[in-house]
Amino acid sequence: MGQTTSIGLALGDRLPKRQTSRLRRRSVRIFLHVHTSTTVSPRSTTSEFSVEREWHSDRRSPARWVFSHIWRYKVYILGILIGSLGNAGGGAVMPVLVGQAFNAVTAQPPNTTTLGLTAVLIVASQIARAILQLGRNFSSEIIGQRIERDARDELYTSLIGKSMSFHDRQSIGDIMARATNDVREINLLMNPGINLVVGSAAFLIFPLIIGPRIHPQLVLVPLFYVVAYVLAVAYYLRRLAPATERVRRAFGQMNATLAESIEGVETVKGAAQEDREIARFRHKVDAWRAAAIGQGDVESLYLPALIFGMTMALGLLHSLLLYHAGAINVGDVVAYNGVLMFLQFPTFATQFAYPQVSSGLASARRILELMNAETLLDENKGGYAGKIRGDVEFDHVTFAYGKDERPALQDVTLSVKAGQTVAIVGQTGAGKSTLTKMINRIYDVDAGCVRVDGVDVRDWDLDALRRQISTIEQDVFLFSRTIAENIKFGCPDATQAEIEQAAKAAQAHDFILSFKDGYNTIVGERGVTLSGGQRQRIAIARAFLADPRILILDDSTSAIDSATEDLIQQAMFRVAQGRTTFLITHRLSQIRWADVIVVLKQGRVVACGSHEALMRTSKDYRAIFAGDDERPKKSASISPLSTPDLPREARGALDAGGREWEVGSRE
């Protein structure tokens, strides 16, 4: 335990006081990371990053989630309830007043006073009813629009916070369907869905109240309808739920196919596969259509319509029998049957509303599938957040992209000192890019650990860690925004002068000014309006502006012509100075920058050293460059070999197990 404590203290010496005690408490776990290669227990969360809100949704079920969003707007809920009761009550007054008017007209002599008062009451009640109905619809629309906004915001935040392991498993088209159409269904669930359901429930109440006030027996038929209606709707919803679920799922699959085909349209055209892709899309459309027809079949068997017809016939017969017996008068017969007609609204309105509610809940379920999906990363708020020096250590790292897949990295152990440049080479699929993605926790290790400045990356505040690491990849992603916005993407508060300074350092300033709008030029989607070399230099300018302590250059000049490569290499060499740099490339002109070259094969470190040493001693390294007649360029502006302040004193050595090596520090 003495050694364990010393490690905890050593780490604590470098941390702020408020974090020292925290890491001391973790010293036993840190000891295990250093000295064992057992499988790491992942931290399962639902989001890699979280945004603090004043409200929290209940994600335990689709219904709870929707209700937790609706419940935030209690004033508007009250507006819906009052409006629904007012609408139903105002409507129920009508047949009662009409019945009284019948009695006034048939009286001998006709009671004109009662008739006039009844007419005034009818007009007044309908004006009040219209006002309350307006308030109800307004409240429902407000809630619907707001919960759509809130649901979309919550889903977007969750998706942005998910780890790459989550996104690797998802179809972009399906995600887009859930983020657009399914979120829209949440709005429609509220309005007209729940709005009509609540309004219909109010219409069910008044026949049960007014019927027995006319005659006690007249409660029987409305009661029969309500009981039969509830049972029929419950049966209907049980059949409707899976049907709407199939429709939403089929729509998502259709959308995913469409998005994939459009994204790869150049490949489709290049291979002359338009007909095949059209047939594939039509197959998905047919599946969606079949699911929609299946939902229509369920909706066609809506039993409350039959029950309503039976109710009207029974009600008329019952009221006429009571009239014949002298128990009620003509006005009562008119009023009672008019009240029964009220049941028409819940019968036919809910035939439209319940499918909308069911579809909304199916969409909510699909949205929750994304938001509740576990990610193995967490942001570790309150973790270590110091300034990175640049020491990086891989300690028996093993990682696989899937549980049943071959490990992309196997027991990798190596150590890099701050400020060093390390070239990582290997055949395709050797694990080069995967290795560097462990540093900024794009992925988390399955076993072993990765340390930055001696601290396990899982103990870092994730935001603080990533802000100090930049990656420039072969396929640079640019947003469909201005060039200036793309350069300052990692530093949104950067000034125009700082942006231009970074662009000049990246050899990008001149070509940017050649555009009509200069730095305000809008690049196309993914930067398609720029050449490959221009996109690379924009990415390098972004890295200059971010001023990272660790820089990862991932095969960033593999598809660029020689003239452009010269400019980019100058920019890359500048941005790499004074930083720990990982260089993934097969170009000897760049590999010779490195203090040490690491050779990966099938996820393992098999050799390391200088180019000349590896060509003599490593069969795997020679296989990579067999027949490569590329020669390093002599330009002093490019080759660091001629730079007097950057001597090549790198040294590398394999450990007894043939895995671990360490790079000396740059003088």
The answer to whether the CB of 401 falls within 8 A of the CB of 163 is no
Tokens read off for 276: 């095949």
Q: Which of 185, 187, 182, 190 is nearest to 155 (CA)?
A: 182
Say what the pLDDT of residue 273 is. 82
What single-letter amino acid sits at 7? I
DSSP summary character for residue 189: I
Say what the pLDDT of residue 631 is. 45
Question: Measured between alpha carbons, how far is 250 from 248 in angstroms, rounded to an integer?
Answer: 6
Say what the pLDDT of residue 640 is. 38
Say what the pLDDT of residue 605 is. 92
Say what the pLDDT of residue 527 is. 62
Say what the pLDDT of residue 643 is. 36
- Residue recorded with tokens 């005659």: 215
What are the Cα distances from residue 139, in Å, to 56, 72, 190? 22, 13, 10
Domains of the chain (ranges, CATH numbers): 2-35 (no CATH), 62-371 (1.20.1560.10), 379-468+550-556+580-667 (3.40.50.300), 474-547 (3.40.50.300)
- How many CB atoms lie under 10 A from the CB of residue 1? 8
Say what the pLDDT of residue 646 is. 34
The answer to whether the CB of 187 falls within 8 A of the CB of 144 is yes
Say what the pLDDT of residue 1 is. 37
The dihedral formed by the CA atoms of 98, 102, 104 and 107, expressed in degrees to the nearest 10: -170
**pTM attached to this predicted model:** 0.67
Q: Which residues of the chain have pLDDT under 50?
A: 1-44, 629-667
Q: Which of 606, 569, 665, 225 is nearest to 427 (CA)?
A: 606
β 447-452/392-399 pair status: antiparallel
Question: Measured between alpha carbons, how far is 214 from 158 in angstroms, rounded to an integer?
Answer: 57
What are the Cα distances from residue 424, in Å, to 38, 429, 430, 605? 26, 13, 10, 10
| Upper half-sphere CA count for residue 348 (Cβ side, 13 Å) | 6
Say what the pLDDT of residue 528 is. 67
Beta strands in 319-420 (DSSP E): 392-399, 409-416
Question: Measured between alpha carbons, how far is 122 from 551 in angstroms, rounded to an integer?
Answer: 79
- Residue recorded with tokens 């009220």: 342
What are the Cα distances from residue 219, in Å, to 81, 205, 303, 311? 24, 11, 22, 12
Question: Measured between alpha carbons, how far is 449 from 431 in angstroms, rounded to an integer?
Answer: 16
CA angle 513, 518, 520 (to 5 degrees): 160
Say what the pLDDT of residue 638 is. 38
Beta strands in 313-452 (DSSP E): 392-399, 409-416, 421-426, 447-452
First to last CA, the chain: 37
Say what the pLDDT of residue 282 is. 92
Tokens read off for 253: 């699959």
- How many CB atoms lie under 10 A from the CB of residue 431? 24
Secondary structure of 281-329 as H, E, C letters: HHHHHHHHHHHHHHHHHHHHCCCHHHHHHHHHHHHHHHHHHHHHCCCCC
The answer to whether the CB of 599 falls within 8 A of the CB of 661 is no
Q: Which of 618, 554, 544, 545 is nearest to 585 (CA)?
A: 554
Question: Measured between alpha carbons, how far is 432 from 610 in angstroms, rounded to an integer?
Answer: 18
The answer to whether the CB of 505 falls within 8 A of the CB of 499 is no
Say what the pLDDT of residue 598 is. 93
Residue-wise pLDDT tens digits, 383-409: 888 899 999 999 999 999 877 788 999
Phi-psi category of residue 108: left, alpha or beta, with phi > 0 → left and psi -120 to 50 → alpha: beta
DSSP summary character for residue 178: I
Question: Measured between alpha carbons, how far is 480 from 497 in angstroms, rounded to an integer?
Answer: 22
Question: Measured between alpha carbons, how far is 503 from 519 in angstroms, rounded to an integer?
Answer: 10
The answer to whether the CB of 135 falls within 8 A of the CB of 145 is no
Write out the H or E segment, with its range, that includes residue 505. helix 496-505
Question: Measured between alpha carbons, how far is 611 from 608 in angstroms, rounded to an integer?
Answer: 9
Q: Which of 288, 284, 198 is nearest to 244 (CA)?
A: 288
Residue-wise pLDDT tens digits, 539-557: 888 888 888 899 898 876 6
Q: Provide the β-strand partners of residue 415.
A: 393, 662
The answer to whether the CB of 408 falls within 8 A of the CB of 399 is yes
Residues 6 or more apart whose Cβ sits within 8 Å of residue 346: 200, 201, 203, 204, 229, 304
**Would you say the C-alpha torsion 580, 586, 588, 589 has a positive or negative sign?**
negative
Say what the pLDDT of residue 100 is. 85
